[in-house]
């Protein structure tokens, strides 16, 4: 018998500092993104967008454009809605309320109205500039409070009260607990819209042939794109093939279905492939973080124990639902924070307005809540004279506690996280003396986040005659290292070398369903799906080897890429040889994980039950310096910590936590999508500021709190520190200057405006 080995035993795959498979390509610039892709014969599209926040479309004048060189078509919403080639011209994951091009009226300044298709991008641009649209302006509303008031402009006739998702939770007796409380604190916190700013813009290429629709898209969610395109064109999902290359960043901006229905419709109507790539300013007009207004009232006893909390969350959903009806549910579930509170009442509402549609943003729906409840905790601590770290440790959830939904908490590590970050910045060490115009302070934030409910992921493993394993998954690598992580998991569960495993790009003709690459879920669900597929594949290899070696099926085991006789370990056969001797080109196995929990199973007006497969947990501590003359805030040092369960790759875990802190500095200190007179006035990287290396603290560190048991549950860490950044900074600023900023971003101007109100008496 020939012994075919697969190299050194694959020891310590989990927890090893293994590189991303495409690391070199990323560094030297040879990695292929969707923006680099081309299809033979493709035309190019350019959009004409509305300048009005709310208006009826009276007429489109495209005669000049149609006569310009290279122009193939000028498409409007009426063209799409009246064409039999586009039988269902509305799409949306939560509500199908959006058309590829506005039909009848526009609902925000930036709404796509016309698509010009030409042979080159330059010709399409020139022609688009010549298109004129006549409008009749309508009253508009950009503030959610005004949008829910009687008599507000109606944005969608189907929802005349502008309602875009309503959820409620009640547990205990909030009113009685408030009456008996020694102290009641009441504050409101505001988080504005912000832009994710991925370096690669939204881009898609579509073509039709006898087999159906084929599309290449820079998306975080190929399965959703496939589903919605199948709906729009009334075809079976198997007739829609979605390709996804690695993304040049996503951060939630690419987690919705956006330009794909339009590109596919254009390709069908002009009967040739069509490509559309958004400019940077158009990215600002495509999706934003949910702006939120959050009011929290908390009742506390004389010892500082939380008795009751009453929360009202109001989210700006923008002109179209996108994910808002479901997102406000997540906002509700996360809004109490990681604290033990016997009585809780929450109302969470999403509202349509005439603004850019709101969608995912890294740490979505947790950023807003965490800024509120962690700022609120420090205000409580100041009001009753207790150290804020001590107050957190006194009230954070512990194993066995019950969350307001009724779910019993397990595997809870909030105390460890708070202690870890506080110790890392020397919480008990007083800052050194400074000049009269400078002040220093330290702040902490700790957060709780649900793991996405109703999540599912399918994986296929293929082992070929050379011993190479390919992982097929619709999880998207957008720079976070999903390919490397999935490869490590497959190598670990199969017992093969890491370098013998490759991960294919998502392609819905060969990769199965995946709920979304987002929400810090990929590693957790990917592991469970790969574990199942690996078990099946190993069983197939064992059965085949037993037959080839004339051994009983229950008389073999597996060891580092070999099937081994349990009776005589010298009898062994390598996986590659087993496949070759079977006469098959490869062995394959499928795996699937699906959570039984889902927001679809919850009563929106009485949320109860187990709402998360496990709880994401993170914390951040910072030390800041504030210039009392200018209001400028500088972060001197920061430390983040995440509960990771079992760490797959320490390098990537560290990069995720520290990258999240850097990312979170922007919305905390200066990022805000500004709207004036219904228009976004800073849709560019000159007026919309993102962090540079000059904003990053020189002392930036992180910890991954880990369970080293072999069977430890894996927790995603992609968003565990970002929501804690803003409240940690706000709390540090308040401790430094004795003034509280309750509105993000914490700009120099807002700090200066707060300074005259030093040491304010908390509202009681």
Instruction: Give residue 436's pLDDT band: very low, low, confident or very high (50, 70, 90).
Output: confident
Reply yes or no on whether the pLDDT at 421 is more than 90. Answer: yes
56 bridge partner residues: 105, 136
Q: Per-residue pLDDT tens for 276-296?
A: 999 999 999 999 999 999 999
pLDDT at position 764: 31
Residues 6+ apart with CB under 8 A from 147: 141, 153, 155, 162, 351, 352, 353
Q: Per-residue pLDDT tens for 712-736?
A: 999 999 999 999 999 999 999 999 9
Q: Among candidates 328, 717, 712, which has minimal Cα distance to 522?
A: 717
What does the radius of gyration of the chain's CA atoms come to, in whole angstroms?
Answer: 27
Reply yes or no on whether the pLDDT at 448 is more than 90. Answer: yes
Per-residue H/E/C for 403-430: CCCECECCCCCHHHHHHHHHHHCCCCCC
Cα 48 from Cα 529, distance rounded (Å): 44
Instruction: Give residue 451's pLDDT band: very low, low, confident or very high (50, 70, 90).
Output: confident
Sign, CA torsion 731/736/739/741: negative
Find the helix or strand (DSSP H, E) in which 279 lies.
none
pLDDT at position 725: 98
pLDDT at position 731: 98
pLDDT at position 601: 78
List the structure tokens of 659.
């990258």
Domains (ranges, CATH) in the chain?
A: 23-31+455-594 (3.30.365.10), 34-138+201-246+253-284 (3.90.1170.50), 363-452+614-757 (3.30.365.10)
CB half-sphere exposure, 278, CA atoms < 13 A: 30
Cα 678 from Cα 693, distance rounded (Å): 33
Cis preceding-peptide flag for 462 (omega within 30 of 0) = no
Q: Are 620 and 701 in contact (CB under 8 A)?
A: no
Q: Per-residue pLDDT tens for 131-145?
A: 999 999 999 999 999
What average pLDDT does the segment 178-193 reach? 98
What average pLDDT does the segment 603-620 reach? 94
Cα 694 from Cα 685, distance rounded (Å): 16
Q: Is 330 helix (H, G, I), strand (E, B) or coil?
A: helix
Cα 175 from Cα 310, distance rounded (Å): 9
Q: Are 575 and 561 in contact (CB under 8 A)?
A: yes
pLDDT at position 763: 36
pLDDT at position 355: 98
What average pLDDT does the segment 736-752 reach? 97
Q: Is 362 helix (H, G, I), strand (E, B) or coil?
A: coil
The fraction of the chain above a pLDDT of 90, given in percent, is 93
Per-residue H/E/C for 451-484: CCCCCEEEEEEEEECCCCEEEEECCCCCCCCHHH
Number of H-type helices and E-type strands within the chain: 19, 30
Q: Per-residue pLDDT tens for 696-717?
A: 999 999 999 999 888 899 999 9
Q: Among candidates 672, 375, 662, 713, which has minimal Cα distance to 523?
A: 713
- CA end-to-end distance (rounded Å), the chain: 82
Q: Are 13 and 180 in contact (CB under 8 A)?
A: no
What average pLDDT does the segment 223-238 reach? 98
Q: Per-residue pLDDT tens for 324-335?
A: 999 999 999 999
What average pLDDT does the segment 65-84 reach? 97
Residues 6+ apart with CB under 8 A from 758: 737, 738, 739
671 bridge partner residues: none
Instruction: Give residue 11's pLDDT band: very low, low, confident or very high (50, 70, 90).
Output: low
What average pLDDT does the segment 478-496 reach? 95
Residue owning tokens 């929450």: 346
């Amino acid at each position: 018998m020939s012994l075919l080995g697969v190299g050194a035993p694959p020891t310590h795959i989990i927890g090893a500092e293994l590189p991303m498979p495409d690391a070199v390509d990323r560094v030297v610039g040879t990695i292929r993104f969707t923006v680099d892709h081309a299809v033979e014969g493709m035309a190019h599209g350019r959009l004409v967008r509305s300048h009005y926040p709310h208006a009826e479309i009276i007429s489109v004048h495209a005669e000049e454009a149609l006569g310009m060189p290279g122009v193939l078509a000028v498409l409007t919403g009426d063209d799409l809605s009246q064409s039999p080639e586009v039988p269902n011209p509305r799409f949306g994951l939560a509500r199908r309320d959006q058309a590829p091009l506005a039909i009848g009226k526009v609902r925000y300044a930036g709404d796509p109205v016309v698509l010009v298709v030409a042979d080159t991008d330059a010709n399409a641009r020139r022609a688009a500039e010549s298109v004129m649209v006549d409008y009749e302006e309508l009253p508009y509303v950009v503030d959610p409070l005004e949008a829910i008031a009687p008599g507000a402009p109606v944005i969608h006739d189907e929802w005349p009260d502008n309602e875009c998702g309503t959820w409620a939770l009640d547990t205990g007796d909030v009113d009685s607990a408030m009456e008996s409380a020694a102290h009641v604190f009441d504050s409101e916190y505001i988080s504005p819209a912000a832009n994710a700013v991925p370096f690669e813009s939204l881009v898609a290429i579509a073509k039709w042939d006898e087999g159906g629709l084929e599309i290449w898209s820079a998306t975080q969610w190929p399965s959703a794109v496939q589903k919605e395109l199948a709906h729009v064109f009334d075809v079976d999902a198997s007739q829609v093939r979605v390709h996804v290359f690695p993304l040049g960043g996503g951060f939630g901006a690419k987690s919705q279905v956006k330009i794909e229905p339009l590109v596919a419709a254009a390709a069908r109507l002009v009967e040739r492939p069509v490509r559309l790539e958004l400019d940077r300013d158009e990215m600002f007009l495509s999706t934003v973080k949910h702006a939120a207004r959050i009011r929290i009232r908390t009742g506390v006893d004389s010892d500082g124990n939380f008795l009751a909390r009453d929360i009202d969350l109001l989210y700006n959903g923008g002109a179209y639902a996108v994910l808002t009806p479901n997102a406000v549910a997540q906002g509700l579930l996360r809004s109490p924070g990681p604290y033990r509170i016997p009585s809780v009442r929450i109302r969470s509402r999403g509202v349509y307005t005439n603004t850019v549609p709101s969608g995912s943003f890294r740490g979505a729906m947790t950023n807003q809540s965490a800024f509120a409840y962690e700022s609120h905790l420090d205000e409580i601590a100041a009001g009753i004279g207790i150290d804020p770290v001590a107050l957190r440790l006194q009230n954070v959830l512990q194993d066995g506690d019950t969350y307001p939904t009724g779910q019993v908490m397990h595997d809870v590590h909030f105390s460890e996280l708070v202690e870890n970050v506080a110790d890392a910045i020397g919480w008990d060490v007083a800052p050194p003396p400074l000049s009269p115009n400078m002040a220093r302070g330290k702040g902490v934030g700790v957060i709780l986040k649900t793991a996405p409910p109703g999540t599912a992921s399918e994986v296929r493993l293929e082992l070929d005659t050379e011993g190479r394993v390919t992982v097929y998954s619709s999880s998207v690598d957008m720079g976070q290292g999903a390919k490397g992580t999935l490869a490590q998991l497959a190598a670990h569960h199969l017992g093969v070398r890491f370098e013998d495993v490759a991960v294919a790009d998502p392609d819905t003709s060969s990769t199965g369903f995946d709920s979304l690459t987002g929400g810090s879920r990929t590693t957790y669900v990917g592991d469970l799906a790969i574990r199942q597929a690996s078990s099946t594949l190993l069983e197939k290899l064992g059965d085949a080897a037993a037959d080839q070696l004339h051994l009983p099926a229950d008389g073999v085991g597996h060891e580092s890429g070999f099937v081994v006789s349990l009776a005589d370990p010298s009898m062994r056969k390598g996986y590659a040889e087993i496949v070759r001797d079977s006469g098959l080109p490869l062995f394959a196995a499928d795996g699937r994980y699906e959570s039984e929990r889902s927001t679809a199973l919850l009563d929106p007006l009485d949320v109860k039950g187990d709402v998360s497969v496990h709880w994401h947990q993170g914390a951040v501590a910072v030390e800041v310096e504030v210039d009392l003359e200018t209001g400028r805030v500088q972060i001197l040092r920061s430390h983040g910590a995440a509960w990771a369960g079992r760490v797959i790759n320490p390098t990537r875990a560290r990069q995720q936590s520290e990258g999240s802190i850097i990312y979170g500095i922007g919305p905390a200190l200066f990022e805000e999508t500004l709207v004036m007179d219904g228009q976004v006035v800073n849709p560019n990287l000159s007026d919309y500021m993102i962090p540079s290396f000059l904003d990053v603290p020189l002392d930036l560190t992180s910890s991954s709190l880990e369970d080293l048991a072999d069977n430890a549950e894996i927790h995603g860490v992609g968003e565990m520190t970002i929501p804690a950044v803003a409240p940690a900074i706000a709390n540090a600023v308040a401790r430094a200057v004795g003034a509280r900023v309750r509105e993000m971003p914490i700009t120099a101007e807002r700090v200066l405006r707060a300074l005259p109100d030093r040491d304010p008496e908390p509202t009681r």
